[in-house]
Each structure stands twice: as C-alpha cells, then as structure tokens.
Amino acid sequence: MAQLAVGDRAPAFTLLDQSGAKVKLSDFKGKPVILYFYPKADTPGCTTQSCEVRDHRKDLAKLGAEVFGISPDTPAKQAKFDAKYKLGFPLLADEDHAVAEKYGTWAEKSMYGRKYMGIIRSAFVIDARGKIAGAFYKVSPKDTVPEVRAVLAG
C-alpha cells in the first residue's frame, strides 16, 4: 500500500486493545485522533515513544485528541507494556499487520544486511471528519509528540 497523505480518508479499522476491548476508529468520528505505529512493545525506541506520548497526553487531550498506539504485538503483550510503564491509553494489537498495511507502515526493512518485513515507526493525525491531517513516516520516537501537536495546534 502506498503511504497516506494529508487529505486522504483515514482507513477504517477495528482492533483489540490491551484489555481485549474492541476499538473502532469510527467510534471517534467528530474528534481528532492520533495514531502512532511502533514496531515492538517494550523495546528502547518504542518505550521512549510511548512514554513521550504518556507524558504529554494531557496536553494532547486539551487539543481534543484521542491517542492510540498500534503494533503487531498481542493484547497480552500490550497489557504488560502498559502496566510496566503506566501508559494509561489504548494500545492496539494489529497482529496480522492488516491495519499497518492500510496505513502504509508495513514495509521491507533492513538490519545488518538482513531484509525483513516490519513496522515503519509512524504517526498520524486524523481530523474530526476522518481525514488525514498529518502523516509522519519514519518519525523519531522523540519527534512524535511535537509533530502531532503542531498539526493539532494548527
């Protein structure tokens, strides 16, 4: 799937969160949503990114946004990650990476000369009408919050 751009309709999804509850993007129509995709729970970059979101969640909420982290981890692994770092927001399990594919974040990667498929660390702001207001592919863990906050603050 090609990468999404500002103005594109955000692909719909229904995923389980860390407690096993179903989360549907359509349930949040009418308010901004931040989605960030991370490769693997409880790894250094993903922990940094998730803790940055946790630490700035009140600021993001003041801008009206709901926040969701998405990775290919199971709900149980997401629950352990949430409990360990007291993240306090929904972490969604995209075990078959179908949602990541729709958002253009599932791609070939390379490490130490080995090629494999995986998540491109990315963040999206979806506006109240369900359109992409900001798309940040290959975002650094520390830049996720400033990038999405700039879009929300408009």
Active site members:
46
Judged by phi (left if over 0) then psi (alpha if -120 to 50, else beta), residue 150 lies in: alpha
3-class DSSP assignment, residue 86? coil
- Residue found under tokens 């709900």: 75
**114 alpha carbon, distance to own chain's centre:** 25
Question: Residue 139 burial by CB count (10 A; 0-12/13-18/19+): exposed, middle or buried?
Answer: buried
> What is the largest distance, in Å, between two alpha-carbon atoms of the chain?
45
- Beta strands 66-71 and 33-37, pairing class: parallel
The secondary structure of 125-136 as a DSSP string is EE-TTSBEEEEE
DSSP 8-state assignment for residue 4: P
